[in-house]
Amino acid sequence: MNTLRLAVADGVTIAKRNALKIRRAPDLLGGVVILPIVFVLLFTYVFGSMISLPGMSYAEYMLPGIFVLTIVTSAQITGYTLTMDLQKGIFDRFRTLPMSPSAVLTGQTASDVIMNLISMVTMALVGLLVGWRIHSSPLEAALGFLMLLFFAYAFSWVTATVALALRTPEVFNNIATLMSFPLVFLSNAFVDSARLPGPLKVVADWNPVSTLIQAARELFGNTSPALPVPSAWPLRHAVPVSLLWSVVLLVVFVPLATRLYKRAVSQ
């Protein structure tokens, strides 16, 4: 119990360190606050002026997709921070301290939850200004936000694994961008995946990002009976499948990231 208590305390300390770093770094703070605002305004007034949906506004259809887009892109900060700490030798300093080895990764990913929470609050407020509304119960809406944060936490372990495998900020940024953009844009974030041609439709229907977006739309009440019912199995069971995806990501990538971290600090 003492070991677990110390590991949690060390993780909280690292999370506070990373949260302070975000507050003092204008570029990271801009990614947390300004980028979500740009996403909401850009996609609402550019795409929204060209796309009409039966029974609902495009802002309500689009905003859950913007939530997930921001989650996926913001997760790159996890990997970028880890690669920068590797280059600066900060991990070597941590290794000399009486602290839990797992604290660096748990603290980093926990601080990302705080960052994503700030982003979601910002996007929700801007979304309300441009016409987004929640049509479900307060409990369902709260579950929607918690589910998004849970996926954000799980996905940050994915980017941590990639960062610890690559180890340099420049290479990581290139690879992470190549990973994140297809995940978001080959999905139902901005248009119904049924409109996509054959192979792309299959990819979008089974994309975990599409499932998460559909789940968020259902929990926020951003759906319309006039829209076609999704035919793919993951989209028809979006909420439990999204939760399952988050669990699978944690089960797979937490051990991988931990192993790569131990290898990185042992060299």
Contact 207, 184 (CB under 8 A): no
How far apart CA 58 and CA 52 sit, in angstroms, is 7
Residue 6 pLDDT grade (very low, low, confident, very high; cuts 50, 70, 90): low
At 76 the pLDDT is: 79
At 145 the pLDDT is: 95
36-74 burial code (b ≥16 CB/10 A, e <16): bbebbeebbeebbeeeebeebbbbbbbbbbbbbbbbbbb
Considering the chain, what is the average pLDDT of its residues? Answer: 83
At 237 the pLDDT is: 94
How far apart CA 144 and CA 137 sit, in angstroms, is 11
Given 3-state DSSP classes, what are the helix, strand and coil percentages for the chain, each rounded to the nearest 5? 80, 0, 20
Question: Three-state SS for 53?
Answer: strand
Enter the tokens of residue 134: 């929640």
Nearest to 65 by CA among 90, 82, 48: 48
How far apart CA 53 and CA 38 sit, in angstroms, is 22
Task: Kindly tell me the sign of the dihedral angle through the C-alpha atoms of 47, 53, 58, 64.
Answer: negative
pLDDT surpassing 90 at residue 236: yes
The crossing angle, in degrees rounded to 10, of helices 169-185 and 58-74 is: 160
